[in-house]
Structure 1
């Protein structure tokens, strides 16, 4: 590990005291790599049956596993099928410790690149409404891609400031996750470049931003709702100090206990306003656990939780209805046409939230993008393919993960079909690997025209 900032080390020595030598020594230990199973597509038990990797459970995260760096799961077809997300082990903790029930309205306020949003979306099991927001447009695009890869169909990806978002969603969400932008001190081992850019002004700088973010988040939380605040830094200004600010200025908020783990350290009241309730916060240190530095605080807004309103029905024009019906006769799972909306030539399947009052909000995607209406036909989209299972479509091409054509398909190449694979009728095929969808192709005789989008292609 390269030289750490001296002012940072001095502060950590004062904070940790007798634990400081062990903390310092942890920077000589290689970082750990984590994989989280997408339970929206596959159970943990089933994934372990088919996994080609050497996995060890992350003991404090449900569905999380350590993997060996040399195995490179990002290059495996299962990654392209959205069966898991690669994430630093400690970073899995916030979404794991925020209980989400199917049907709830959930906000991930600082969501890019999507590690926590995909976990929250999977917990919803296709029911309810997830708003995943990021202020950066380029980062929001990466967020959208990951949600689509995970097959999350009941989401809205927004690109707004917390203040503007709060104007659209007053006391609206059942659960909110605020993984706040921070000084990143907990990531010095994972990414030494973060240490190079650190200086003593960063905690105060981010502390001001975090106060604005948390105030807007609280205004969007329903009475009775829960909010989990997290950072990947050790700075007390951004952790116990920020939660002290909340408790002093928002009396409707109270701290809750977080499901324990032996390696967790309690929050330190002396690093905040000396409120003993701060002990309910959790600190993650790399010398106590096999992960990087994190801080978590779970809060509840006093009051009674009110039920969310369901989506009003939509109505399709006759031409769109007919084209969609022609395609959907091969879709074997239920899609309520009264939840389908056509915008221009694009077709979307809406979540359970009425978004008709959100005019003016900046968003990248609202609902599941099903595809495009063209002259006399409907062309399904890549996100639609990822939201299906192999049993949801009548015509599939299922290839083993070891089949060399998988690599060629993911590169966008045309495939040759074996005699057994040639369908009785030309048309759309859902291309799968070991039963899990990768995307679309169009069968013409003994060839499969590749419909895997260029923006998704990788060199496998």
Structure 2
């Protein structure tokens, strides 16, 4: 692979005698990874049922390599069940190294397509709130699908300038992840097109964006909160340089140690403009030291600076919420009797015939662009309730009364994913008409409506299995 000359010269300066080892890695194949969705299945259980040949990613507890030249995990029912996410191994590191406790308020600032956000959401285990934002509306749509496929319900998906979010979420978040837009130098081996983009928009262009996003995020982090900044580039201006600028503007921030791995290399203090020795706590990932592409990570904690009282004045219940089950439409109440989960009636929100279940403690969202607020429970169509695909993915088999559970080998699994009508006459046991949760090996795929042995398929059209 022919690298841009200016990039080669920079890397020679950065790597010194390691430069030849670095360039040699371009002759090696790229690595393919999948990350287990631990909110749906344990790593141990996944290993038992995994149909692919996988080996562990040693620094990611729920990460595995697979052979991307021979196997296609995206063409498997377990993928449609949301049991894993396909992600380059090094890219798993930022969300892995940001510790999340269920119940926290978490922000992913530049979240599309969802590789980090899905892991953050899984770590929350349905408690607290994940706010996933991407300025690109089209990319945010893909982000929403991936979060719903993963079964994340306690979320907001936004499409806003990070600067606008400051007015809505002042000192609101316990944890913030910024996987910043960058020049992409660490991805040259994975995607050759990144080199052309690098020549059009280099590190100086991106460093200005990064510094703006960092300062905006800093204002949204609670005192004592943690911020993880990452890029997939090697350039010091975008890495140590951008973090240095944050420390200059917000001296209450302190760099923290990142849980180590033998392949990690420490940050480069000589490229920092302030508190240089602290930058040894940051991490550089080089592809000639690890089986993955290039990355940079910095973990920072916000201290208790002056005037850092948490702002809560905007927080209040959303308009239109039902205060009790009695105020919900009858057909919705009847459906909820089939769901074995304790709901807080005050968190239901009905807007334009759509029923949402909202996270707690949200700010007033008036005037903000969002693609999803909370878990979409379903829609009221002429008084009749129809459950959503998002709810199906959010449920576990034991949480719903009416189940159709097919083994992986049953041809009806693929038929269902293609949107075809399913016949169920051969199944044992009583099968009353109504809404059924369709599963593969116990893992939900979607809903269908059963009548007289025939299941009317309600799998979301935009998600359907396409014939190859």
Distance in 2 between the 1:317 and 1:129 partners?
Answer: 23
Q: Which of 351, 359, 362 is 1:351 aligned to?
A: 359
Asked if 1 retains the 8 angstrom alpha-carbon contact of 2:183 and 2:201, the reply is no
Is 1:22 matched with 2:21?
yes
Residue aligning to 2:46: 47
Asked if 1 retains the 8 angstrom alpha-carbon contact of 2:376 and 2:390, the reply is yes
Asked if 2 retains the 8 angstrom alpha-carbon contact of 1:258 and 1:281, the reply is yes
User: What SS does the aligned partner of 2:328 have?
Assistant: helix
Matches within 5 A, 1:29-428: 29-69=28-68, 70-199=70-199, 202-273=202-273, 275-303=276-304, 312=317, 314-315=322-323, 318=326, 320-355=328-363, 357-421=364-428, 423-428=430-435
Distance in 2 between the 1:44 and 1:17 partners?
Answer: 40
Tell me how far 1:281 sits from its aligned partner. Answer: 0.7
Residue aligning to 2:447: 440
Number of residues of Structure 1 aligned to a counterpart in Structure 2: 458
Asked if 2 retains the 8 angstrom alpha-carbon contact of 1:316 and 1:341, the reply is no
Distance in 2 between the 1:337 and 1:101 partners?
Answer: 25
Distance in 2 between the 1:423 and 1:31 partners?
Answer: 51
Note closer, same or farther for the CA distance 1:319–1:420 as it changes in structure 2 (3 Å cut).
Answer: same
Asked if 2 retains the 8 angstrom alpha-carbon contact of 1:54 and 1:68, the reply is yes
Distance in 1 between the 2:395 and 2:358 partners?
Answer: 15
User: What SS does the aligned partner of 1:117 have?
Assistant: helix
Distance in 1 between the 2:309 and 2:445 partners?
Answer: 39
Distance in 2 between the 1:201 and 1:63 partners?
Answer: 34
Q: In angstroms, what is the RMSD of aligned CA positions?
A: 1.8
Q: What stretches of structure 1 of length at least 5 have no aligned partner?
A: none
Note closer, same or farther for the CA distance 1:373–1:448 as it changes in structure 2 (3 Å cut).
Answer: same
Asked if 2 retains the 8 angstrom alpha-carbon contact of 1:397 and 1:421, the reply is no
Tell me how far 1:210 sits from its aligned partner. Answer: 0.6
User: What SS does the aligned partner of 2:391 have?
Assistant: helix
Asked if 2 retains the 8 angstrom alpha-carbon contact of 1:127 and 1:352, the reply is no
Tell me how far 1:308 sits from its aligned partner. Answer: 10
List per-residue Cα deviations over 1:312-346 (Å, max 9, x = no partner).
58426856342221111111222222211111200
Asked if 2 retains the 8 angstrom alpha-carbon contact of 1:186 and 1:294, the reply is yes
Distance in 2 between the 1:197 and 1:51 partners?
Answer: 37
Asked if 2 retains the 8 angstrom alpha-carbon contact of 1:36 and 1:64, the reply is yes
User: What SS does the aligned partner of 1:228 have?
Assistant: strand
Note closer, same or farther for the CA distance 1:306–1:403 as it changes in structure 2 (3 Å cut).
Answer: farther
Tell me how far 1:407 sits from its aligned partner. Answer: 1.1
TM-score for both structures, normalised by structure 1 = 0.96
Asked if 1 retains the 8 angstrom alpha-carbon contact of 2:396 and 2:443, the reply is yes
Note closer, same or farther for the CA distance 1:179–1:299 as it changes in structure 2 (3 Å cut).
Answer: same
Note closer, same or farther for the CA distance 1:378–1:246 as it changes in structure 2 (3 Å cut).
Answer: same
Tell me how far 1:418 sits from its aligned partner. Answer: 3.4
Note closer, same or farther for the CA distance 1:89–1:166 as it changes in structure 2 (3 Å cut).
Answer: same
Tell me how far 1:196 sits from its aligned partner. Answer: 2.5
Tell me how far 1:427 sits from its aligned partner. Answer: 1.2
List per-residue Cα deviations over 1:228-279 (Å, max 9, x = no partner).
0000001111001111111222101110010000000000011222611111
Note closer, same or farther for the CA distance 1:278–1:136 as it changes in structure 2 (3 Å cut).
Answer: same
Asked if 1 retains the 8 angstrom alpha-carbon contact of 2:222 and 2:310, the reply is no
Is 1:456 matched with 2:463?
yes
Distance in 2 between the 1:169 and 1:301 partners?
Answer: 16
Tell me how far 1:458 sits from its aligned partner. Answer: 2.2
List per-residue Cα deviations over 1:166-216 (Å, max 9, x = no partner).
111111100000000000000001111111332285100000011110000
Q: What stretches of structure 2 of length at least 5 have no aligned partner?
A: none
Asked if 2 retains the 8 angstrom alpha-carbon contact of 1:311 and 1:352, the reply is no
Distance in 1 between the 2:417 and 2:127 partners?
Answer: 30
Asked if 1 retains the 8 angstrom alpha-carbon contact of 2:266 and 2:280, the reply is yes
TM-score for both structures, normalised by structure 2 = 0.94
